[in-house]
Amino acid sequence: MEKDGLIIVYTGKGKGKTTAALGIALRATGYEKKTCMIQFIKGSWHYGEMDSSKRLEPEFEMVAIGKGFVGIMDDKSPKVDHEQVAKAAIKISNEKIQSGNYDIIILDEVNYAVNLNLISIDDILNIIKSKPKKVNLVLTGNYAKDEIIEIADLVTEMREIKHPFQQGIKAKRGIDF
């Protein structure tokens, strides 16, 4: 028996959560399925996927709405700005999910946005409960809440064993961003 749309979670402290979600988008594009990725945290920095996603159009759409990573590195935005952007991302997510135009919706870094209290767990649970049956929903980001893990169909936790940063190696273009 094939279930309609799945709820997929990629979480954990290891690298590869967004990359795994993009792998689903790439595979789906090969079958002419429509995917939309809404980035809750990323957005103010330039990432390779911002350009490569355009090559997958019209099957793949990326909405990079975040203001960048919250409270780290060069973040000068007050938390309230990040909260407003995350709430706008929730609104866009609901619109895209309910539009009937997509087979897959990826909420990138949404678990992290919940953990930072930029949005509430109820915002995400409501999205999950109200999604049309056919829509596959992918949630990425560290700190996935137990409530989300419990209702998900597939949960993968990325675990860091070794990272180049520990050896002083900076992030690499095309590998890390």
3-state helix, strand, coil in the chain (%, to 5): 40, 15, 45
Q: Evaluate whether residue 1 is within a structural domain.
A: no
The total domain count for the chain is 1
Q: Which domain holds residue 120?
A: 7-167
Here the CATH number for the domain that contains residue 46 is 3.40.50.300
Average pLDDT over residues 48-72: 79
Average pLDDT over residues 55-82: 75
Residue bearing the bigger pLDDT, 158 or 46:
158
Q: Model confidence over 126-163: pLDDT tens digits?
A: 999 999 999 999 999 999 999 999 999 999 999 999 98
pLDDT number for residue 48: 75
Q: Model confidence over 98-118: pLDDT tens digits?
A: 999 999 999 999 999 999 999
